[in-house]
Amino acid sequence: MNTEIKTDPKKATFEARREFNADISLVWRAWTEPELRVQWWAPAPWRCESKLMDFREGGRWIYEMVGPEGERHGGIELYDKIKVKDYYTGKDAFTNEKGEINENMPISTLKNTFIPTENGTLVICFTQYPDAGSLETVIKMGMSEGLNMAFDQLEDVLQKVKDGKLVM
């Protein structure tokens, strides 16, 4: 399956939609439990390391994407509002090596929505940037391609869990 991606430079928005062939409970877990999230969040050959995940309103997830040569890029999600198996909102930012927000990189607001479908679960990731330049920065960094690759890996993780090959 492919990820449908729409950007609007005038509104500085990025939206990704993808339907996964898995029950909403499992898809929700894959997004909100660090043991599952690290299995798919970074695009191969990169991998993800979770430093801290406190998935609750007011909580945060601090992580690093680790490249094949050992290079590291940190990120953070700050959770504002959570409606279990429906959506969560918050902020998304890059971090320095201490897990602190890097104010020199784009900071966005996000809403990830989970919708049950006939075949599984539709996930809609909506991201609002402060301006068109910030959106352009993440697009040039490969956000569309990287997210599509990560979602391909999420498909694999969901299938492994359903097949009992990955127990969490």
Kindly state which CATH superfamily the domain 4-162 is placed in. Answer: START domain (3.30.530.20)
Structure tokens at 7: 């950007």
Of the candidates 132, 127, 156, the one whose C-alpha atom is nearest the C-alpha of residue 144 is: 127
Residue 1 confidence (pLDDT) above 80:
no
Percent over 70 (pLDDT), the chain: 98
Parallel, antiparallel or unpaired: strands 121-128 and 60-66: unpaired
Please report the pLDDT score of residue 168 as a whole number: 55
Domain boundaries, the chain: 4-162
Please report the pLDDT score of residue 52 as a whole number: 95
Residue 79 confidence (pLDDT) above 70:
yes
Q: What is the average per-residue pLDDT within 105-132?
A: 98
| CB distance 29 to 16 below 8 Å | no
What is d(CA 7, CA 158) in angstroms, rounded to the nearest whole number?
A: 27
- pLDDT tens for 148-168 read 999 999 999 999 998 888 765
DSSP readout, 84-141?
TTTEEEEEEEEE-TTS-B-TTS-EEEEEEEEEE-SSSEEEEEEEE-SSHHHHHHHHHT
Q: What is the average per-residue pLDDT within 133-147?
A: 96
Of the candidates 165, 160, 157, 163, the one whose C-alpha atom is nearest the C-alpha of residue 48 is: 157
Q: Tell me the pLDDT band of 2, cut-offs 50, 70 and 90.
A: confident
